[in-house]
Amino acid sequence: MTAAKRVLDVALTFLAITALTFVLSRFAPGDPYVGDAQGGVANDATIAAWHELRGQGESLPTQYGRWLLASLSLDFGRSFIDTRPVREHLVEALGSTLLIAGAAALLTYALAIPLGVYLALSRKKLLAGVVDSGLFVLHGVPVFWGALMLGLTVSASGLLPTRGSFILPVLCLTYPGLARIARYQKAATREAAASPAVLLARAKGLPEALITRRYILRAALTAPLSLLAAELPWLLGGSVVVERIFTVRGMGMLTFDAILRRDVPVVMGATAVVAIVALLSSLVADLLHARLDPRVRA
């Protein structure tokens, strides 16, 4: 498939996702009316007036079209709840999410890649086995459980300030990925170590350290890159569980609250951001993968 076609696909998928979200959020039961506070209790006339003020009297296609046009210039409208621009909400939430998710991603890769290489090349079978099993167990620990346990032990001990500390949420977002990426790295390193190039080098009698550096690592380190592309939308989407337990106001909680309150403009804005990042990173990953590995021509 040509790159142009691929880009066209991304655009169409984006349209489909946002249109579907729009229709879903409008037809979901429950009324976003918040005249007298969250959810509200009012008569029909009051509620009709409220919707009228928010441009909800028009036909659905008109509303969606208007939203789409405005969103092209990054204008996602105003929140139903506090009438602030959705963009402001998104910027604030992305700020916290990027901080936590960015730190978690850095930490994950900084730990997982050396670990994976170590596990693949280590000759200390026992130690490697223990580390490997430890990672395996960590991977099975549900995030909300890990977060609760951490919260239970650390918050109560008073070691960290109660509020505003990003250490615990970062840890909770780090450990599940650690196992995943370390094991992926391990597999990739093993694969590289068994490649014909390495066998040839070894047959030529090159020193082991040089082989590792020049042939194995160089080949193996490109592998986790494509994984990062796949992780990106997840990191940006924010983790509802972690954000909820540690009261972080990130993308997860923003979207969660917006869905609960039927704050359609915020739901749409958040969906658009996450969808576009997901689609673009998948596009980039594919293109990158194709460039690195000519056999892959999807």
Partner 1 sequence: MIRKVAIAVISAWLAIAVLADVLANDRGHAVVGWAPDTVDKSVTPVSPPDGAHWLGTDTARRDVLARLIHGARLTFAVGFGAALLMVGLGLAVGLASGYGPRWLDRLLTRLSDAILAFPIFFVALAVMGVVPHPGTELVVLVIGGSAWPPLARLVRAETKRLKTQDFVRAAEAMGASPVYVVRRHVVPHLMPMLAVALAFGVGTATMVEASLSFLGFGVPDAVASWGGLMRGAAQHLGAWWLIVAPGLALLSLVLACNVLGERLGPASGRLLSDRGAP
Partner 2 sequence: MAFAIAVITGCQGEIAPEKKDFDAAPRPAAKLEPKAYTGDTLPPVSEQGPRTEGGTLRIGMASEPPHLNPQLDPVDARGRDIAYYVYESLAQADPRNWRPEPRLAESWEVSEDHRTFRFKLRRGVKWHDGKPFTADDVVFTFEKLRDPKVNATGMRGYVEPITKVIAEDPYTVVFETSQPYWFALDAITDIYIYPKHVFAAGDFNTHEANRAPVGTGRYKIVEWKSGDHLTLTKNKSYYGTPAHLDTLEFIYVPDAAMRAQMVKNGELDVVERLAPEQWQELTKDAALADKFYRLRHVPDGIQWIGWNEAKPMFADARVRRAMTMLIDRDDIVRNLRLGLDVPAASWFYPGSPEHDATLTPWPYDPKGAAKLLAEAGWKDTNGNGTLDKDGVELAFTFLYPTNNPLYEQLAALITNEMRAAKIAVTSAKLEWSVYTERLRRHDFDACSLVWKLEPEGDPYPIWHSSSIGQGSNWVGFKNAKADELLEKARREFDREKRAAIYRRFSALLHDEEPITLLFNRYNLSMVSKKFGGVYSTPYGLFRYDDFYVVGPAR
- Min separation Cβ 249 and partner 2, Å: 4
Residue type, 256: F
17 touches partner 1 by CB under 8 A: yes
Applying the rule CB under 8 A, the residues between 102 and 141 that interact with partner 1 are 136-137, 139-141
Hey, what are 133's tokens?
A: 């099993």
Query: Beta partners for 78?
Result: 85
Distance CA 45, CA 23 (A): 24
- Min separation Cβ 187 and partner 1, Å: 4
70 touches partner 1 by CB under 8 A: no
Which residues form the interface with partner 2 (CB under 8 A)? 29-32, 34-43, 46-47, 49-50, 53, 78-79, 81-84, 88, 92, 155-156, 158, 161-163, 247, 249, 260-262
DSSP letter, residue 154: I
Element containing residue 213 per DSSP (H, E): none
Q: Which stretch binds partner 1 (CB under 8 A): 41-49, 55-63, 94-102, 241-249?
A: 241-249
Count of chain residues binding partner 1 (CB under 8 A)? 55
174 touches partner 1 by CB under 8 A: no
- Min separation Cβ 26 and partner 1, Å: 11
89 touches partner 1 by CB under 8 A: no
Closer residue to partner 2 in complex, CB, 35/207 = 35
Shortest CA distance to 237 belongs to which of 271, 285, 281, 283? 271
Helix (H, G, I), strand (E, B) or coil at 78: strand
Contacts of 177 (CB under 8 A, 6+ apart): 104, 105, 108, 112, 231
| Among partner 2, partner 1, none, residue 291 binds (CB under 5-8 Å by kind) | none
Helix, strand and coil in the chain, % to nearest 5 = 75, 0, 25
Applying the rule CB under 8 A, the residues between 179 and 238 that interact with partner 1 are 179-181, 183-184, 187, 227, 233-234, 237
Shortest CA distance to 84 belongs to which of 94, 72, 92? 92
Among 93, 105, 259, 268, binds partner 1 (CB under 8 A): 259
- Min separation Cβ 151 and partner 2, Å: 8
Helices and strands in the chain: count of H runs, count of E runs: 15, 0
| Among partner 2, partner 1, none, residue 41 binds (CB under 5-8 Å by kind) | partner 2
- Min separation Cβ 136 and partner 1, Å: 7
Q: CB–CB of 7/280 below 8 Å? A: no
Among 244, 288, 289, 290, binds partner 1 (CB under 8 A): 244
Distance CA 203, CA 197 (A): 10
Q: CB–CB of 222/289 below 8 Å? A: no
| Among partner 1, partner 2, none, residue 99 binds (CB under 5-8 Å by kind) | none
Using alpha carbons only, give the angle 127, 128, 130 rounded to the nearest 5 degrees: 65
Shortest CA distance to 286 belongs to which of 229, 237, 232? 229
The residues of the shown chain that bind partner 1, judged by CB under 8 A, are 1, 9, 12-13, 16-17, 24-25, 27-30, 136-137, 139-145, 148-149, 151-152, 155-156, 176, 179-181, 183-184, 187, 227, 233-234, 237, 239-241, 244-245, 252, 255-256, 259-260, 271, 274-275, 278-279, 282, 298
